[in-house]
Structure 1
C-alpha cells in the first residue's frame, strides 16, 4: 500500500510553487509627477514592489520641496536672508549645505569666466524673471547700467566655514541655474539609499539615470527648441545625466523679439546666439550638478561653445545655433537618433 506522505509530496511541491509565483509580481515602471522649482518633475522607478517605489519617490519629492523652500530666490528662504545680509554689508551664518553649494558654484563660475554667475540675482529680477508670470517689459536702462557698473560676481563672496560675506553689496544670489542639477544628485542618493537601482529623474529637462529599464537602457528625448517634438533621442546609461539650456524654457516676446532668462553678464541682456545647448555628463561624482550649471557658459559663449565644454571635460554636446544650424560633438553623434532627416555638423 502506498505511503500517504509519498502521495502528498508532489501536491505540496505544486502548492509551494504556486505560492512563490503568486508572491512574485511582474516588474514595471512606477511614476510620480509634481511641480517644483518652477517646472515639471517626473520620477520613474523600474521594479516589482509598488509600495517600495512609491515610498522612495515620495522621499525624493519631499527633498525637492525642502530644497525649493530653502533656496528660493525671491520668496522668504535661507537664500533671501543671505542676500539681505549682503545688502546690509553684514556677514551671515549659513547651513553646511548652502556653504558647500556656494563654494561649488563659485568654482564653476570661475571655470566658465563668470558667464555662469549666480551672483546676478538682481539682474534676473530686473528682467522680471523673479516671478511665476513674466511681464513683457525691458528693464529701466539706468538701473541696468548701474548694476553692470557694480559688477556683482561670485568672486566677491568670502566663505569661511559657515560664515559668508560679500565684498560687493550688489551681490544677490540666485541658484536657479544650479539647484536643479544639485537636486538630481540628491534624488539619486536618496533612491540608492532606499534600495532603488533602476530609475529616471527628470526635472524640467535635467535628467539623471540609475540602472536601466528592464533589459534596455533608459531612453530620453532632446527637445526641439522651436517645435513641440524631440529633436533627437538617445539612450541614457547608469549614472549619466543630461541638461539643456534653451531660450524656449522661460521667456517672453515683445515687438517680435524673444527675451529669455539666460542673461549675458557682459551686456546685461538675454543672449541671442544660441537656441539651445544640451550636454551629457558621463558617470562621475556630481553628474547631476554638472548637467546644469556648465551648460550656461557654453550657451552664452555662442560660437565659442566648444571651448567652454572642454573646460568641464564634457565631450557629449549638441548645439542649435540662432539660425537653426545643428552642431554636435562626435562622441554624442554616435549616440543620437534623429526622428527626421537632419543636416548636422560634427565637431571634435
Structure 2
C-alpha cells in the first residue's frame, strides 16, 4: 500500500508539473548533436528522434571527407582526371553547394578539400604544425574551386585535378533540413535540433518559443540569447571549435581560399535565417563566407538570404545587424554591441 501511495503521489506530481520535453544526444559530424521534442506522446517522440539520428549517421558516413565514403571515391576519381558517376543525392548536393558558394563570392567553397587537408584539419586530432610552404604555393597557383566541377546528370567531371570536396561547412545544415522533414513526417511539429551550434526550430515548447544561446567565443557561457520562431534557423562559425595553437598563435579551421590561410580577423559569426526551404543548409553554409569576409560581411547578407547576423571581431568588438539586435538579449556586463545596417 505504501508503494502504491508513493506511485500515485509521483503520478500526481508529474501531472501537475511541466509537460515533458524528450531529448536524445549523439556525437555525429565531429560534434555534439541534440534533438529535443515537445510532445506528450513519448513513443512518438522516441521514434521520431531515432529516425533523425539514424539519418544523421547515414549522412556522416556517406559523405565523410577523409574516411572511405562516396565523397572520397569521387575525390579519388577527380585527382586522377576520371569522370565519376555519383548518386542523385550527391549530384544534387554539388549543384546546391555550387550555387551558395557563388552567392558568397566563393569565400566558402567546398572544393578546397586539399587545402583543408594541408592544414591538418581532415583529422580527428590536430597537430600543431604548419603546412609545407611549397605545397601551399602549388595549391594557390591551381586555385581549385567547386565551380570547376561539371555535373551532367549523375556524371561528375572536373576541369582541375586539384579539386577535392569537403562538405564540412554544408552538410550539418542539410542534416537540419532532413531532421525537420523527418520530424514532421512522424507527426512531430514541436522540436529543436542542434548540431554543434547549428539550430533549427519547429513549432514551440508547449506554447513558448524555443530559446537558444549564442556561445561566447572567449568566455564560458553565452554571449546572448535568442528566441526562434517556427522554421527559423541559426548557425555559428567560430575560431574556437576546431583549431591548434603554435608559438602563441591560433590557427583555426576556417580558411580563406584567397590566401590559403586560416582567418585571423574574426572570432565568431552567427547568422539568422528566416523560414524557407533549405533554411538549415543556409544557416550552416552562409556563416562561413560572412566569417571569412571580415569587415565586409554586411554586403553578403542579402545575396546569401540571411535575415541578420552577429560578428565578434578579433579584438572582441561585437557587431550586429539592426534586425537581429532587436531580438537578442545580451548577457549583462558585456560591452555594448555596435548596431549596423
> Which TM-score band (shorter chain)?
over 0.9
Higher radius of gyration, 1 or 2: 1
Q: In 2, distance between residues paired with 1:206 and 1:293?
A: 10
Q: In 2, distance between residues paired with 1:117 and 1:168?
A: 15
1:101 aligned residue (72, 85, 93) = 93
Q: Which position in structure 2 is the counterpart of 1:210? A: 202
1:116 aligned residue (108, 113, 138) = 108
Q: In 2, distance between residues paired with 1:170 and 1:143?
A: 12
Q: Which position in structure 1 is the counterpart of 2:287? A: 295
* CA offsets 1:231-274 (integer angstroms, 9 cap, x no match): 00010110000000110110011111100000000111001111
Task: Please state how far the C-alpha of 1:50 moved relative to its aligned partner.
Answer: 1.0
Task: Please state how far the C-alpha of 1:315 moved relative to its aligned partner.
Answer: 2.8
Q: Which position in structure 1 is the counterpart of 2:152? A: 160
Whether contact under 8 Å (2:215, 2:223) holds in the other structure is: yes
Q: Which position in structure 1 is the counterpart of 2:337? A: 344
3-state SS in 2 of match to 1:175: coil
Q: In 2, distance between residues paired with 1:125 and 1:197?
A: 40
Q: What are the within-5 Å matches in structure 2 for residues 212-231 of structure 1?
A: 212-231=204-223
3-state SS in 1 of match to 2:137: helix
2:50 aligned residue (43, 52, 58) = 58
Q: In 2, distance between residues paired with 1:316 and 1:217?
A: 19
Q: What are the within-5 Å matches in structure 2 for residues 1-348 of structure 1?
A: 27-341=19-333, 342-348=335-341
Q: What TM-score does the superposition give when structure 2 sets the normalisation length? A: 0.94
The answer for unaligned runs of 5 or more in structure 2 is 1-10
Q: What TM-score does the superposition give when structure 1 sets the normalisation length? A: 0.92
Q: In 1, distance between residues paired with 2:182 and 2:157?
A: 31
Large movers: runs of 4+ above 4 Å = none
State the number of aligned residues: 327
Task: Please state how far the C-alpha of 1:27 moved relative to its aligned partner.
Answer: 3.1
3-state SS in 2 of match to 1:62: helix
Whether contact under 8 Å (2:37, 2:45) holds in the other structure is: yes
3-state SS in 2 of match to 1:311: coil
Q: In 1, distance between residues paired with 2:301 and 2:82?
A: 36
Whether contact under 8 Å (2:286, 2:306) holds in the other structure is: no
Q: In 2, distance between residues paired with 1:256 and 1:269?
A: 17
3-state SS in 2 of match to 1:292: helix
Task: Please state how far the C-alpha of 1:313 moved relative to its aligned partner.
Answer: 2.8
Task: Please state how far the C-alpha of 1:323 moved relative to its aligned partner.
Answer: 0.6
The answer for unaligned runs of 5 or more in structure 1 is 1-20
What CA RMSD, in Å, does the superposition of the two structures yield over aligned residues? 1.3
